[in-house]
């Protein structure tokens, strides 16, 4: 019944606390007039008030207090520890990325998912710091980070793993080919070459990308392969990418 469902909600708690005593009081007065049910009605009044107050306290504890709500609802998202977040970009840092591998790998493997990792390096970031200062460079870096993060998808994660290095982890199917990985690496490389408008001027940063793929439980090893591929791409200059076991390039 709808009214029973309503009584279980937080909105019903104040009515139980404030409204039920009046209802019970009326019942008690009626019982006193009858001369028989007075004691029973007063006892019922005490029981109902106690119940209403207890329910109100419980609902307030579990819903109004976010900490208690998280404890009693473990499926709800919890706050990410500060030591896992890069303070400049808001992305995960290396600690956060490694924790993600550890915490998500097994579940992804059970769901028959594999990992694709794109490691990106910004070519002109240090020049940007020297010419514009750290504050402006950080603001521009945040814009680049937001572009890179779009490659992570709904199940993946993006992280800043160095002053000018990023890693994007996306989930794929084990049967997905290296051509798909190369396609995504090429797209990210192209995105890094796009200009950024800041402070009335146009800024070109550029960058290189290294990519690799592997099983969901092999996150750190795949990241290392992607980084080695990135080093190969950097030798070719900005605008190039290298995929482990498959090579390609794109000029910006």
Q: Phi/psi at 75 (nearest 5 deg)?
A: -80, -10
**What is the token pair recorded at 71?**
């404890």
Is 220 within 8 Å of 238 (Cβ atoms)? no
Taken in order 171, 173, 175, 180, is the CA torsion positive or negative? negative
Instruction: Say how far apart CA 160 and CA 120 lie, in whole Å.
Output: 9
Total residues found in the chain within this entry = 252
**Secondary structure letter of residue 180 according to DSSP:** H
Q: Report the pLDDT value the prediction gives residue 34, as an integer from 0 to 100.
A: 56
Buried b (16+ CB within 10 A) or exposed e, 12-37: bbeebbeebbeebeebbeebeeeeee
In the sheet where 157-160 sits, what is the strand order? 157-160, 165-172, 114-122, 207-215, 240-243, 246-249
Neighbour-count burial of 175, counting CB atoms closer than 10 A to its CB (0-12 exposed, 13-18 middle, 19+ buried) = exposed
CB 189, CB 207: distance < 8 Å: yes
Q: Report how far residue 107's alpha carbon sits from residue 95's, in angstroms, rounded to the nearest whole number.
A: 19
Q: What pLDDT does 224 receive?
A: 97
Q: Looking at the DSSP assignment, which residues form a beta bridge with residue 19?
A: none
Structural contact between residues 210 and 203, judged by C-beta atoms closer than 8 angstroms: no
Residue 172, pLDDT score: 94
Return the CA Rg of the chain. 30
The CA distance from 160 to 125, in Å, is: 13
Q: Which of 132, 139, 98, 250 is nearest to 185 (CA)?
A: 250
Domains annotated for the chain, with CATH where assigned, are 2-72 (no CATH), 82-249 (3.30.70.270)
Report the chain (252 residues): mean pLDDT per 10 consecutive residues.
47 50 54 53 52 45 32 42 93 97 95 96 87 88 94 95 96 88 96 90 91 96 97 93 71 36
Residue 131 has a pLDDT of 85
Tell me the C-alpha distance between 79 and 81, whole Å.
6
Model-level pTM greater than 0.85? no
């Amino acid at each position: 019944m709808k009214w029973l469902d309503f009584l279980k909600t937080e909105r019903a708690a104040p009515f139980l606390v404030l409204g039920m005593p009046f209802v019970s009081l009326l019942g008690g007065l009626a019982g006193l007039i009858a001369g028989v049910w007075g004691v029973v009605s007063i006892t019922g009044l005490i029981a109902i008030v106690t119940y209403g107050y207890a329910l109100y306290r419980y609902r307030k504890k579990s819903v109004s207090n976010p900490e208690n709500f998280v404890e009693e609802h473990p499926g709800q998202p919890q706050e990410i520890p500060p030591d896992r977040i890069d303070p400049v970009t808001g992305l995960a840092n290396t600690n956060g990325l490694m924790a993600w591998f550890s915490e998500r790998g097994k579940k992804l493997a059970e769901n028959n998912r594999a990992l694709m990792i794109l490691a990106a390096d910004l070519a002109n970031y240090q020049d940007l710091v020297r010419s514009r200062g750290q504050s402006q460079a950080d603001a521009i870096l945040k814009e680049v980070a937001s572009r890179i993060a779009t490659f992570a998808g709904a199940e993946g994660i993006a992280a800043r793993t160095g002053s000018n290095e990023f890693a994007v982890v996306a989930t794929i199917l084990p049967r997905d080919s290296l051509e798909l990985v190369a396609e995504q690496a090429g797209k990210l490389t192209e995105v890094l070459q796009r200009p950024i408008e800041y402070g009335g001027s146009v800024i070109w940063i550029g960058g290189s990308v290294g990519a690799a793929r592997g099983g969901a439980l092999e996150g750190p090893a795949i990241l290392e392969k992607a980084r080695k591929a990135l080093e190969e791409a950097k030798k070719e200059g900005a605008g190039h990418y290298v995929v482990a076991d498959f090579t390609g390039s794109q000029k910006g």
